């Protein structure tokens, strides 16, 4: 079992375009993060830094549709906008973008910060109407440089900044925006917690004196996943030997696969039964979370729940939750991590296929012991 990556220091990104101070008062800020769920969660320290540095400003974020629920209870955010998709060429490509553009321009933003390198974020930053637009410079997309007034660059542009949260923070640090608290954090309202507490017994996941453990075997990309049959063996073992109640989680698209795993393991599945906000609440009520490299470990860590995550070809040093209560399991192969999308581009990872159930069970046992020896032990509400 490998510990999660240590929290690293600043990467000393530097400002290469634009000047400071901004030359005008900042009363309205828009932060653009159009990445996946894990990217949004990892950006929360940057949101917090912006709020701390502009305490009187209205701070809004722009995320992909469906992700805003995770941020609704964040006390540092005043408004959440989302990029929606609606079926139909006219709606998706013309009407919805126009609606969003009108709404953004109506806010009269002074500053927009784009935390992601893609064309859509660049476009939305430009059309927002903000006179100050900042982003990281990426060499493979030089055309973006013309649309920003302020650009920052890492000291070694060809190397990835270690730690997902620091990738966002290092966009804003050269702008004089920083925080002493770089840990990703999500907020869950008591109303949402109560709703989930009532849902659990209805779905057969009431837990016991020791608590429940959430398990997510699913990832957006199959090359990150571990064999479902092996998952069933591990989950069956957890239910019989650890004293915890195992509960599978996942999206609506993963509901059928989760039901099959749960049936084989004699466990409960809540996959597809919760909203994203309710999933965050469920994870916060868990003793710990077990899964693969996906959004769930990021959410779990951000609500204060310990995690143990299986990594294959992806680099855990870039993406794993940080801190002493987070651990990783990785195959013992020289090629790990290869950072490829599966072996030979086939979408399957031999390193994960060779990872045995006994090894994973042993790692989870050691993880449980480490949590039990810590303050408060491993228990769930």
Q: Where are the domains of the chain?
A: 2-175, 190-372
pLDDT for the residue numbered 162: 61
pLDDT tens for the 381 residues of the chain, in order = 554 443 334 457 899 999 998 978 999 999 999 999 999 999 999 999 999 999 999 999 999 999 999 999 999 999 999 998 765 666 666 788 889 999 999 999 999 999 987 888 999 999 999 999 999 988 778 888 999 999 998 766 555 556 677 889 999 999 999 999 999 999 999 999 999 999 999 888 877 667 899 999 999 999 999 999 999 999 999 999 999 999 999 999 999 999 999 999 999 999 999 999 999 999 999 999 999 999 999 999 999 999 999 999 988 888 888 888 999 999 999 888 888 888 888 888 989 999 999 999 999 999 999 988 874 334 344
How many CA atoms are closer than 13 Å to the CA of 313, on its beta-carbon side? 20
Tokens of 43: 């950006």
Task: Identify which of 292, 262, 283 has the alpha carbon closest to the alpha carbon of residue 355.
Answer: 292
Taking phi first (over 0 means left), then psi (-120 to 50 degrees means alpha), and beta for anything else, what does residue 124 get?
alpha
Is the link from the previous residue into 305 a cis peptide, with omega within 30 of 0?
Answer: no
pLDDT for the residue numbered 62: 98
Distance CA 13, CA 6 (A): 20
b/e 102-126 (16+ beta carbons within 10 angstroms → b): eebeebebbbbbbbbbeeebbbbbb
Query: Which residues, listed in sequence order, are joined to residue 291 by a DSSP beta bridge?
Result: 216, 309
pLDDT for the residue numbered 156: 66
Distance CA 297, CA 294 (A): 7
User: Which residue, chain included where needed, has tokens 């542009």?
Assistant: 157
User: Which residue, chain included where needed, has tokens 């000291």?
Assistant: 155
CA distances from 3 to 16, 159, 312, 321 (A): 36, 22, 15, 10
Superfamily of domain 190-372, CATH level 4? Glycogen Phosphorylase B; (3.40.50.2000)
pLDDT for the residue numbered 8: 38
Q: For residue 48, with 0-12 CB atoms within 10 Å meaning exposed, 13-18 middle and 19 or more buried, which class applies?
A: buried
Q: Are domains 2-175 and 190-372 of this chain identical in fold?
A: yes
Contacts of residue 238, Cβ cutoff 8 Å, sequence gap at least 6 = 213, 215, 244, 246, 290, 364
User: Which residue, chain included where needed, has tokens 């609704």?
Assistant: 72
Contacts of residue 254, Cβ cutoff 8 Å, sequence gap at least 6 = 218, 271, 272
Instruction: Return the CATH number of 2-175, one of 3.30.9.10, 3.40.50.1100, 3.40.50.2000, 3.40.190.10.
Output: 3.40.50.2000
CB-CB neighbours of 375 under 10 Å: 5
């Amino acid at each position: 079992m490998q510990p999660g990556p240590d929290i690293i220091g600043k990467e000393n990104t530097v400002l290469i375009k634009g000047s400071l101070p901004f030359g005008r008062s900042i009363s309205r800020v828009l932060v653009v993060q159009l990445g996946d769920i894990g990217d949004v969660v990892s950006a929360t320290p940057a949101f917090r830094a912006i709020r701390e540095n502009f305490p009187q400003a209205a701070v809004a974020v722009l995320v992909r549709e469906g992700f805003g629920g995770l941020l609704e209870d964040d006390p540092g955010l005043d408004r959440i906008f989302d990029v929606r998709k609606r079926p139909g060429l006219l709606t998706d490509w013309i009407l919805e973008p126009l609606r969003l553009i009108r709404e953004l321009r109506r806010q009269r933003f002074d500053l927009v910060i784009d935390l992601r390198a893609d064309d859509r974020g660049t476009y939305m930053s430009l059309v927002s109407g903000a006179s100050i637009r900042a982003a990281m410079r990426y060499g493979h997309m030089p055309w973006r440089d013309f649309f920003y007034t302020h650009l920052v660059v890492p000291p070694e542009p060809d190397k990835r900044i270690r730690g997902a949260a620091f990738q966002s923070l290092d966009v804003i640090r050269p702008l004089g925006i920083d925080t002493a608290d770089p840990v990703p954090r999500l907020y869950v309202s008591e109303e949402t917690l109560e709703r989930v507490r009532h849902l659990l017994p209805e779905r057969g996941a009431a837990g016991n004196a020791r608590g429940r453990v959430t398990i997510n075997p699913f990832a957006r990309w199959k090359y990150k996943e571990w064999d479902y049959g092996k998952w069933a063996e591990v989950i069956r073992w957890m239910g019989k030997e650890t004293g915890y109640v195992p509960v599978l989680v996942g999206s609506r698209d993963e509901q059928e696969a989760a039901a099959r795993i749960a049936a084989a393991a004699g466990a409960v599945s809540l996959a597809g039964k919760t909203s994203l906000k309710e999933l965050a609440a469920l994870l916060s009520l868990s003793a710990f979370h077990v899964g693969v490299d996906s959004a769930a470990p990021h959410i779990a860590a951000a609500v204060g729940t310990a995690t143990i995550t299986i990594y294959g070809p992806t680099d855990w040093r870039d993406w794993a939750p940080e801190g002493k209560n987070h651990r990783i399991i990785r195959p013992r192969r020289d090629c790990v991590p290869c950072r490829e999308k599966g072996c030979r581009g086939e979408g399957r990872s031999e390193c994960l296929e060779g990872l045995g159930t006994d090894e994973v069970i042993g790692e989870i046992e050691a993880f449980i012991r480490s949590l039990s020896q810590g303050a408060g032990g491993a228990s769930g509400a």
